[in-house]
Homo-oligomer: A and B are copies of this chain.
């Protein structure tokens, strides 16, 4: 399999995602949260870029079974039902609901992946399941959401972790960035993922009292489900 890793959405154009299979990774926290939400019975998660568009999209769908979710600066958005903490997305809250979500990094990466032939959502929570979902693919791009346009270590290590699993399954041709990610994962990707606490994203969440989110997002293979983007909605 030909394996590429893109460390920031800013590189997505240069990486030529059109027509390819893309895995979007935002460990802290958007793809972790979406994996958790769908595993807990949410019907779909619709990523949108702005708060205004989230409100408009939700009202178009009809508010009855719709929840507004997301964050700005890691915090709940005023008037929204849920933030971006995976711990909030329990079956009690989300089962049967359609979630409209806007976050700083993850939803941007999901929108950047719009040109992909197939787009799946990955995190440590479903990492092994992602490698299984890619088993039939000849070519995969792991697209890291990054953080405010910059490299995020947790996404790179998660991409490298998935890449290493794929390399165990069969011969892999890796780009420079995929090789780099796999090397990072070989040192940092061993559970428990203590390095997460020291990443820029992990440290910010801990400062905001969201340390439990960091621990939660570092649980490898909590789920076997792999959300895919279909018609701009993340579904199982």
Q: Does A215 contact B (CB under 8 A)?
A: no
- Copies of this chain, whole number: 2
Residue of B nearest to A13 (CB): B149
Tell me which residues across on chain B come within 8 A of A8, comparing CB atoms.
Answer: 7-8, 10-11, 14
The answer for the CA separation of A183 and B183 in the assembled complex, in Å, is 8
Q: Which of A154-177 contact B (CB under 8 A)?
A: 156, 175-177
Q: Report if A180-B176 is in contact (Cβ < 8 Å); known contacts: A11-B10, A148-B14, A149-B13.
A: no
The answer for the CA separation of A149 and B15 in the assembled complex, in Å, is 8
The answer for the CA separation of A11 and B146 in the assembled complex, in Å, is 11
The answer for the CA separation of A152 and B13 in the assembled complex, in Å, is 16
The answer for the CA separation of A180 and B149 in the assembled complex, in Å, is 16
The answer for the CA separation of A176 and B145 in the assembled complex, in Å, is 14
Tell me which residues across on chain B come within 8 A of A188, comparing CB atoms.
Answer: 183
Q: Which of A176-208 contact B (CB under 8 A)?
A: 176-177, 179-180, 183-184, 187-188, 199-200
Residue of B nearest to A14 (CB): B149
User: Which of A175, A177, A183 gathers the greatest number of chain B CB atoms within 10 Å?
Assistant: A177
Q: Does A151 contact B (CB under 8 A)?
A: yes
> Do the beta carbons of A11 and B150 come within 8 Å of each other?
yes
Q: Which of A23-70 contact B (CB under 8 A)?
A: none
> Do the beta carbons of B15 and A150 come within 8 Å of each other?
yes
Can you list 30 A-B contacts with CB-CB less than 8 angstroms, sorted by A residue number? A6-B150, A7-B7, A7-B8, A7-B151, A8-B8, A8-B10, A8-B11, A8-B14, A10-B10, A10-B11, A10-B14, A11-B149, A11-B150, A11-B151, A14-B149, A14-B150, A15-B150, A150-B175, A150-B176, A151-B176, A151-B177, A153-B176, A153-B177, A153-B179, A175-B200, A176-B200, A180-B184, A183-B183, A183-B184, A184-B184
